[in-house]
Chains A and B, each alone.
Chain A
Amino acid sequence: MVENVKELLKAHKGIKREVYLDNENSTMVPKDVVDAMLPYYNQVAYGNPTLTHKPGWEAFETIMKSSQKISRFLGSKILEEITFTSGETEANNLALMGSAFANKSKGKKIVISEIEPINVLHVTDLLQKFGFTTTKVPVDREGFLNLEKLKEAVDEETILASIATVSNEIGTIQPVKEALDIVKDKNPETLFHTDASDAYGRIPLNVQDLKVDLATVSSYKILGPRGIGALYIKEGVNVDKILEGQIGTQKLWPGVENTPLIVGFTKASEMAFQDFEANVNRMRMLRDKLVDGIFRKLSDVKLNGPKGDKRVPDNANISFLRCEGEALTIELSLRGIYVSSGSACSRRLLQPSHVLVAIGRKFSEAHGSILAKTTRYHTEEDITYVLEVIPSAVGRIRGIVGSTGVD
């Protein structure tokens, strides 16, 4: 199978330009971030931060400073409120499982939305085995949470509500503040967690203003290294650890702290927030150019998720009707454009993206969906190139589909 990949890669020879837009699933890490990380591998702070020697104390200082910075970016004033984990998946696992186990005497009910990230869905499935039940609150056609149904879902036994600030797939910005007020109104004891990974560095976000109890942020979603993320846990909120091992500076996450990754995450955050407005405007300008261009050039296309300022600035999720998405991702790849699809064909269980299903997209619409995210590193020329290629790529796949599957 490794041999096959070699051939696949060879087939990409001679592409004119490469435009990586699959920033939902992984990202390139800017050189500035990598450069910031490198000294921490072998020059400074490579010690274990819990040990009594210089490299250890250096590591301790580095991690504490990083915690402080990340906590400030999130709008918290207390560095102890930040727990580094090895990513968004792990932070969400800790948030859900950790708070469920810590509060199980108060009740066994969890409330989430239908469009939470996959890892949240899977954790709640797992928690079922421990006697917890989960209610999934529906969303409307643009992905906005049904607040009435949320209100109905919360009762005195609800220990946790978890609602992502921004949908990672369709870019919907949820009314988190309103949702939290509704939850706390019904049950002040219910903890409120939000996966803010797709909001961090893209929309104004302040955990203190929002009054959330727990919030997840991810490094790679802001062009930091993979394998590191953080969970904000409001002071006084009870969360159990979910992994066992040597505990160090991170009271809820055992194992030796990965100082270089923490530094990379912090550097990526600094770069995202340094010129926040300009960064965000650039993402939005490029995203709008992409989406508008596609709508101008192609018929039978649909935008998934809302338009305007209720949509996160980097997200473009478009369904090309009469087109299969996985085939389209390959066709685009061969021309240097890298995106992902919510097609059933790209999933293990032949089910289309649960998010597209939840917003009422037909299977045939989900089948041709493409997800792309712009960053400040893209150029207008990149988007122009994508717009040059997409019509013929979609046209070729539609040619294979022909009259099949057209309802």
Chain B
Amino acid sequence: MSRVPLPYTQKVLDLFRNPKNLGKMEDATVTAVAGNPACGDMITFYLKINDQEIIEKASFESYGCAANIATASIVTEMVQGMSLEAAWKEMTWKKVTEEVGGLPSVKFHCGVLAVGALKRAIRKYFQNKNVSPSWVPQELSFEEKQALEEEELAKTLAKRLNVAEENQS
């Protein structure tokens, strides 16, 4: 329950102040969410994908901290114009973290969540089309797994919260 110092980088601050590609995309090809709505720390990712499986545009909304906003924003910039395959293979939370000039270690998960949402969106795109390219393995990527884990953790916390509520007179 304690706190940690959070000396965000200039880049994180810049993206926090002026996030790129912010907002709901009405004509998105695919949308994915990572994190848990009941527990905050949530991100929505919108992708516009063309017939050549190129990401034409990406946008996001974040119900998270400055690190989450900044990493989500930079992911939307990085993937623009990328093929889905390249995005899947090249986008990792480490790369994204580097791209924002590093993050305090307690904030790694915020970048993981952003990349998790992207990978979920890509996976979902193929699921919707009922195809499974060889480069999207059955097994979840690290970021997807982490996102799942965070959601599970959030659920447990939410359960504890309900118990607390029941205890009230």
- Cα A359 to Cα B104 with chains together (Å): 31
B33 contacts partner chain A, Cβ-Cβ < 8 Å: yes
Query: Given the interface contacts A345-B41, A348-B2, does A8 sit within 8 Å of B65 by beta carbon?
Result: no
Q: Which candidate, B17-25, B76-84, B132-140, is the interface stretch facing chain A?
A: B17-25
A381 contacts partner chain B, Cβ-Cβ < 8 Å: no
A/B interface sample: 8 pairs, CB < 8 A:
A138-B168, A343-B40, A344-B40, A360-B168, A363-B157, A402-B61, A404-B63, A405-B37
The minimal Cβ–Cβ distance linking B92 to chain A, given in whole angstroms, is 21
Closest to B157 in A: A351
B153–A350 CB distance below 8 A = yes
Q: Which candidate, A64-72, A195-203, A323-331, is the interface stretch facing chain B?
A: A323-331
A11 contacts partner chain B, Cβ-Cβ < 8 Å: yes
CB-contact partner of B164 in A118, A326, A348, A360, under 8 A: A360
Q: Which candidate, A140-148, A256-264, A301-309, is the interface stretch facing chain B?
A: A140-148
**Inter-chain pairs besides A346-B65, A347-B2, 13 sampled, C-beta below 8 Å:** A4-B10, A11-B17, A114-B164, A324-B63, A344-B40, A345-B40, A348-B2, A349-B1, A352-B40, A363-B157, A367-B39, A399-B22, A405-B42
B43 contacts partner chain A, Cβ-Cβ < 8 Å: yes
B41–A347 CB distance below 8 A = no
A351–B63 CB distance below 8 A = no
B157–A362 CB distance below 8 A = no
Closest to A7 in B: B10
The minimal Cβ–Cβ distance linking B146 to chain A, given in whole angstroms, is 12
A side interface size, CB within 8 A: 51
Chain B interface residues (CB < 8 Å from chain A): 1-4, 7-10, 13, 16-17, 19, 22-24, 33, 35, 37-44, 61-66, 68-69, 101, 104, 106, 109-110, 150, 153-154, 157-158, 160-161, 164-165, 167-169
B164–A357 CB distance below 8 A = yes
- Cα A138 to Cα B168 with chains together (Å): 7
Q: List 7 A-B pairs, minimum CB-CB distance, nearest first.
A: A405-B63, A367-B40, A402-B61, A345-B65, A7-B10, A404-B61, A4-B7
Q: Mark A117-149, 1 if CB is under 8 A from B, else 0.
A: 010010000000000000000111100001011
A363–B44 CB distance below 8 A = no
Query: Given the interface contacts A2-B7, A8-B8, does A348 sit within 8 Å of B40 by beta carbon?
Result: no
Q: Please indicate the chain B residues that have their CB under 8 angstroms from the CB of A345 in the complex.
A: 40-41, 64-65, 68, 110
Q: Please indicate the chain B residues that have their CB under 8 angstroms from the CB of A352 in the complex.
A: 40
A5–B24 CB distance below 8 A = no
Query: Given the interface contacts A402-B44, A404-B62, does A363 sit within 8 Å of B69 by beta carbon?
Result: no
CB-contact partner of B168 in A140, A343, A348, under 8 A: A140
Q: For window 302-323 of chain A, which residues contact chain B by CB distance below 8 Å? A: 322
Q: Please indicate the chain A residues that have their CB under 8 angstroms from the CB of B101 in the complex.
A: 4
Closest to A326 in B: B65
A327–B161 CB distance below 8 A = no
* Main SS class of interface, B: mixed
A42 contacts partner chain B, Cβ-Cβ < 8 Å: no
The minimal Cβ–Cβ distance linking A200 to chain B, given in whole angstroms, is 24
Q: Please indicate the chain B residues that have their CB under 8 angstroms from the CB of A121 in the complex.
A: 1
B1–A5 CB distance below 8 A = no
B7–A327 CB distance below 8 A = no
A358 contacts partner chain B, Cβ-Cβ < 8 Å: yes
- Cα A364 to Cα B39 with chains together (Å): 6
- Cα A364 to Cα B161 with chains together (Å): 12
CB-contact partner of A327 in B16, B24, B104, under 8 A: B16
Q: Please indicate the chain B residues that have their CB under 8 angstroms from the CB of A7 in the complex.
A: 9-10, 13
B66–A327 CB distance below 8 A = yes
- Cα A141 to Cα B164 with chains together (Å): 11
Query: Given the interface contacts A2-B7, A399-B22, A400-B22, does A118 sit within 8 Å of B62 by beta carbon?
Result: no
Question: Which of A139, A346, A362, A363 lies at the interface centre, i.e. has the most chain B CB atoms within 10 A of its CB?
Answer: A363
- Cα A351 to Cα B39 with chains together (Å): 9
CB-contact partner of A118 in B1, B44, B154, under 8 A: B1
A364–B40 CB distance below 8 A = yes
A403 contacts partner chain B, Cβ-Cβ < 8 Å: yes
The minimal Cβ–Cβ distance linking A300 to chain B, given in whole angstroms, is 14
Q: Please indicate the chain B residues that have their CB under 8 angstroms from the CB of A343 in the complex.
A: 40, 65
Closest to B150 in A: A350
Q: Mark A386-407, 1 if CB is under 8 A from B, else 0.
A: 0000000000000111111111
Q: Please indicate the chain A residues that have their CB under 8 angstroms from the CB of B64 in the complex.
A: 324, 327, 345
- Cα A330 to Cα B19 with chains together (Å): 14
Q: Please indicate the chain A residues that have their CB under 8 angstroms from the CB of B9 in the complex.
A: 4, 7
Q: Please indicate the chain B residues that have their CB under 8 angstroms from the CB of A322 in the complex.
A: 63
Q: Mark A350-372, 1 if CB is under 8 A from B, else 0.
A: 11101001101011101100000
Closest to A354 in B: B1
- Cα A2 to Cα B7 with chains together (Å): 7
The minimal Cβ–Cβ distance linking A369 to chain B, given in whole angstroms, is 11
Q: Please indicate the chain A residues that have their CB under 8 angstroms from the CB of B104 in the complex.
A: 1
Question: Which of B41, B64, B150, B160 lies at the interface centre, i.e. has the most chain A CB atoms within 10 A of its CB?
Answer: B64
A334 contacts partner chain B, Cβ-Cβ < 8 Å: yes
Q: Please indicate the chain B residues that have their CB under 8 angstroms from the CB of A401 in the complex.
A: 61-63
- Cα A344 to Cα B35 with chains together (Å): 13
A400–B65 CB distance below 8 A = no
Q: Please indicate the chain B residues that have their CB under 8 angstroms from the CB of A2 in the complex.
A: 7
B66–A348 CB distance below 8 A = no
